[in-house]
Structure 1
């Protein structure tokens, strides 16, 4: 009985039974606010001189948010994601690169072979593109997403529903486009443009939501574990359920100190679950014990990385660094990985703080020169702080013993020194 309940909790409703909610997804919650904001922001495209630039930024932001929709849906979250309207995200650039490469393949075939071959390539690219985008959402690798074999694997594992979704994507986009063009014809020029843009973004959000739901529905055959299903498991699969109940009862009765000591004792004697560590961290933070919080955060962060919960790890390290700027993960490699993920997610300052904390705490570590190079590149490329970047890179070069890394640092320094002071 328990096994059947667990399995049913992990079995999503088929997408063909949710078509209405999929179509209406863009007009609920944060997606609706984002849809309206982006539509209004597109008016800046009418500004002389900078119009094209602003319109390009608007579409980049729309694609970034659409990809966040895909990932949130793939993780089993019914609510639309909330976040700042920005485009400083490595994944969105990989998504754009994926589409540019696909277009280049079609154009290249047209120029070198002919229109018939180009039409065949265009159909194949269009058929494989949803699979490529879903692959990019699952592991973030552009190289894998570009590999046609990966998309073919997605198609073969999902089967005919993939082809149905492929057709639905065209239906959604065509419906949104037709509605936008119809309203644009009957409304005044500026309002008509807004209507066309509104429905274009609507179609974009809905199609990415549909692709995300396909990943969620077929996550088992795709080898993907949605984060949202972890909370759907019965308490039998949560080894610290009784401990959490006991600690929460102590907190409700005003015995937070006893609750912390109870969790501290357990943490020293056995491995705790992510949920127990999260509660322990929260209680330490609320109690203002910075030293204890930093000490525990190293253990908690290591567990999150082992569980591949990088987003939660970034939230944790941001909280800890605000209280203890010298904090560094127990595994130095995690500092490199988290800084890279923070940069990819558009959290540039967090990436800087992670690398600074690592260099401050372990300036002689084997990875210190790598941290210095990464920090210097972020300071120069993302923040425009060239002088500070040169200083960081020179320090990294002085302590570097790896010939390959030395060459990279020297090349970067040469470019920075060539810039005007």
Structure 2
């Protein structure tokens, strides 16, 4: 199955779907409320029910997670399982019923691994879970599948044709993992033997199923090769438990891989699970903020700008001091040419942005100048902060316009000498105008003799005097 992506953010995998609107949404558009986990998200457009897609579009391909599968086998449950097999091979007497019980526990545990991994869990089940009443039933169901496979292989051999025999052999090897997956998840022998049910697993994965089979085949052969290598240097009493433990380990790795493959292709298999890597929800205030921003963006991209403004206005009633909400509201008003409302909102937004992000404030000021050529903020601190950013951006004229006659507009503002020192630097360094810079410095000397940066004033005056002599 091809991955689905958010309709509004093409790089974000889809996690929700609205059938009436035919829209896929990612987590970027549908934030979750951690304070109300029972909350059911609604479509931002029609307010209808959304269908959760789980991790069908976000799961990492199983072939990219090979290290995780090998690490999975080193958890407490799998290691206890391997130890059980190793000890049984050494100490358990050759009693038929005891070995049936052991194989039942082993089969049940491996099926539990597939089931847990199919829901995206990265934690292996404990070994004690396999000591349950239905472990014997699971063992005989799995045994039945293997016996039927052997019967089919025997029938193919009866044709005395190598082509038929190997075709049947390969077909059984390819179908067997899908059959085991069905038996683990549905716990039904009928499902494990049903061509339709087994075929659904194969069809869901497509050609990637062949990659899975190749990995499983390599893993299944690994204990045999290790045993062959050890057979030349270890006594049998040591080699047998080692091979038994390795067989258990690689079996767990195989089952974890099969289970995760189901998790990856859950959409086509009818399963829905977010897995352990599902994004957590947000606290209520942050959730309200993100929800408003996401819904407003969706409305804008659908051309419903009026609805987007209403959403932001409603959110700003509770989040008046939220910078992102104010930024989005300003940008939308400016883009729509809502001159009066944009200018009305600017005093609050510029004050907030100049404290938290002066660069945003500078951009908003330049927008304001396009709406009103002589626009000036009503707060001297805002003027100073924005002017500093504009001068850094080499927009000295715009920055200096904010500082012009600052002592007349705001005579009580204590930052006037600092602002005028910055203006003097802008005149001299950005515009190359020495005389206005000298006038500002002289004003600082006369009116603010106790200015804490007077040393910088003196230094700049000296530099300007030298420049003035050279130009003269």
Residue 8 and residue 121 in structure 1: after superposition, are their counterparts in 2 closer, same or farther (change >3 A)?
closer
Aligned to 1:4: 26
Q: Relative to 1, partners in 2 of residues 1:9 and 1:56: Cα closer, same or farther, differing over 3 Å?
A: closer
Of the three residues 198, 216, 230, the one matched with 2:263 is: 216
CA distance in 1, matches of 2:273, 2:91: 38
Partner of 1:25: 72
Query: How many Å separate the matches in 2 of 1:188 and 1:26?
Result: 26
Q: Select 2:115's aligned residue among 63, 71, 96.
A: 71
State the partner residue of 1:141: 188
Give the TM-score taking structure 2 as reference length: 0.45
Which residue matches 2:171? 124
Q: How does 1:71-110 map to 2 (within 5 A)?
A: 71-84=115-128, 85-86=130-131, 88-89=133-134, 90-110=137-157
Larger C-alpha radius of gyration, 1 or 2?
Answer: 2
Aligned equivalents of 1:158, 1:71: Cα separation in 2:
17
Change (3 A) 1:108 1:44: farther
Matched residue, 1:415:
none
CA distance in 1, matches of 2:157, 2:278: 50
* Structure 1 partner of 2:219: 172
**SS at 1:226 equivalent:** coil
**Deviation readout 1:362-408 (Å, 9 max, x if unpaired):** xxxxxxxxxxxxxxxxxxxxxxxxxxxxxxxxxxxxxxxxxxxxxxx
- Tell me if the contact between 2:107 and 2:138 (Cα under 8 Å) persists in the aligned partners: no
- 1:406 is matched with which residue? none
Q: Distance in 2 between matches of 1:226 and 1:176?
A: 33
Q: Which runs of 5+ in 2 are unaligned?
A: 1-8, 10-15, 17-24, 31-51, 288-472
CA change 1:196–1:114 in 2 (3 A) is same
CA contact (8 A) 2:179 2:192 kept: yes
With over 3 angstroms needed to count, the CA separation of the structure-2 counterparts of 1:141 and 1:53, relative to structure 1, is closer
Deviations 1:171-216 (A, max 9, x none): 1112232123322432122111111111111121111111001001
Query: 2: CA distance between counterparts of 1:41 and 1:91?
Result: 20
Distance 1:180 1:20, change over 3 A: farther
The equivalent residue for 1:202 is 249
Alpha-carbon distance change, 159 to 107 in structure 1, aligned in 2, over 3 angstroms? same
State the aligned residue count.
236
1:27 shift after superposition: 1.7
Q: 1:15 aligned to 53, 62, 68, which one? A: 62
What CA distance in whole angstroms lies between the structure 1 residues aligned with 2:210 and 2:180? 15
- Map Cα deviations across residues 5-52 of structure 1 (whole Å, 9 max, x no partner): 26897222211111012123212221112221222122235x3x52x5
1:204-233 deviation line (CA, Å, top 9, x unaligned): 11111110010011111211123747x947
TM-score (norm 1): 0.50
Counterpart in 2 of 1:39?
86
Give the distance between the partners of 1:13 and 1:228, measured in 2 at CA. Answer: 11
Indicate the residue corresponding to 1:279 in structure 2: none
- Check the 8 A contact 2:73/2:253 in 1, yes or no: yes
Shift of 1:66: 0.7
Does the 8 Å CA contact 1:180/1:198 hold for their aligned counterparts? no
Pair 1:139–1:120, CA change in 2 (3 A): same
**Contact 1:35 1:201 survives alignment (8 Å):** yes
User: Alignment partner of 1:186: what SS?
Assistant: coil
Matches within 5 A, 1:354-393: none
- Give unpaired runs (5+ residues) of structure 1: 242-421
Alignment counterpart, residue 189 of structure 1, candidates 224, 236, 240: 236
- Check 1:233–1:9 CA distance in 2 against 1; reply closer, same or farther (3 A cut): farther
